[in-house]
Amino acid sequence: MWKRNMIVMVCVILLIGMITGCQLAKEDGILDEGKLIGVFITTEFLEILEYEGLFNTGITVSSGKELIIDNNIGRVYADRVVKTLTGESTGDTTEISEFIFPGLTGISYFSPVITDGHGTYVSSMSDEAISNGHLSIHSGDDRDSRTMEGTIFITSPPGMDHIFYFNPVYQDNDGKVYVTPGDAISMTGESAPGTAMSQTLDVVNTVTENGLIKTDSFSITVSINIMYAPVKYVISQMNADNELISWIGYEPGEITETMIPDKNTAYIIVEMHQYDETGTLVVTRELYGREDGGFETIFERPDGICIKHWTQLIW
């Protein structure tokens, strides 16, 4: 049985979140400047010096909060992959760019600046494990800012500890994206569903352009939330007289991407079934009417991360 008290251990606090107005140092042009653009989250420390094709240079923080070269830390550069997406209804194609770190397994959440045939724009690289993702961009005469937020939902059976390394992702002046080793937060197996903690990385740079002072800031916050694993969904269709038209039970992850309600359906009830730590069934219900374009359900991956699935309602 899980204990109701929450035990959350923060292993380390990311130093980079405290750095303001800093730049990457250069040594004979080896280390290019880079801007923080997000995180690559892993469950193990990045031993990146074991991988081929990376620079044996990196960054650390000195007592004066100025970044210096540290030969014990390296980088892994991402491969830029262009994919073609085809619209199901129109057949129109669109090319998108993705950045993949070769040889590394983790959760990508970062926003690089991309230049291609469509021009120059800010994109969002977001793994399916990131729920409730939000990217906010502000551009002005005296301030440019970019803010990212997201949530990772996990299950936590008794005795299972979770550790997540928040590895900073940067983009250099040539547009190349790279990751460096980061520090971790940990949640113990004593942490009950409803427990949540978050980690924030942010940086503020001040530059002078044409005699005017301008700030350029970036901030990313990712929350880790523990929940009970969904075990079943029941979807009921109701008419305007609150009478049941039909109901269907689904295994998590098996609900279709589109659903056509009965012509007499006035609203839909989506039930999520879960079991708490005592084995008691917990049922939550959400109601969706004809003004709603769809609904979300959640399924658990083998690694304990819960993924949100969108189903479009075609009324």
- How far apart CA 117 and CA 196 sit, in angstroms, is 42
Higher pLDDT, 57 or 229: 229
For residue 50, what are the contacts with CB-CB under 8 A and spacing of at least 6?
none
256 by DSSP, 3-state: which? coil
Higher pLDDT, residue 140 or 299: 299
Digit-coded pLDDT (tens) for 90-101: 777 777 788 999
291/142: higher pLDDT? 291
Q: How far is CA 185 from CA 8, 38, 167, 254, in A?
A: 9, 16, 11, 32
What is residue 1's predicted lDDT score, i.e. its pLDDT? 34
Separation between Cα atoms, residue 167 and residue 17, nearest integer Å: 12
Residue 9: the pLDDT is 30
Give this prediction's pTM.
Answer: 0.78
Work out the pLDDT band at 31, boundaries 50, 70, 90.
Answer: low
Strands 143-154 and 212-226: parallel
pLDDT band of residue 22 (cuts 50, 70, 90) is: very low
Instruction: Please report the pLDDT score of residue 165 as a whole number.
Output: 95
* Mean pLDDT in residue range 266-288: 95
Which of 30-39, 43-52, 168-177, 207-216 is predicted least confidently? Answer: 43-52
pLDDT, tens digit, 9 for 90 and up, residues 103-141:
899 999 999 999 887 788 899 999 999 999 999 999 888
- Residue 101: exposed, middle, or buried by beta-carbon count in 10 A (0-12, 13-18, 19+)? buried
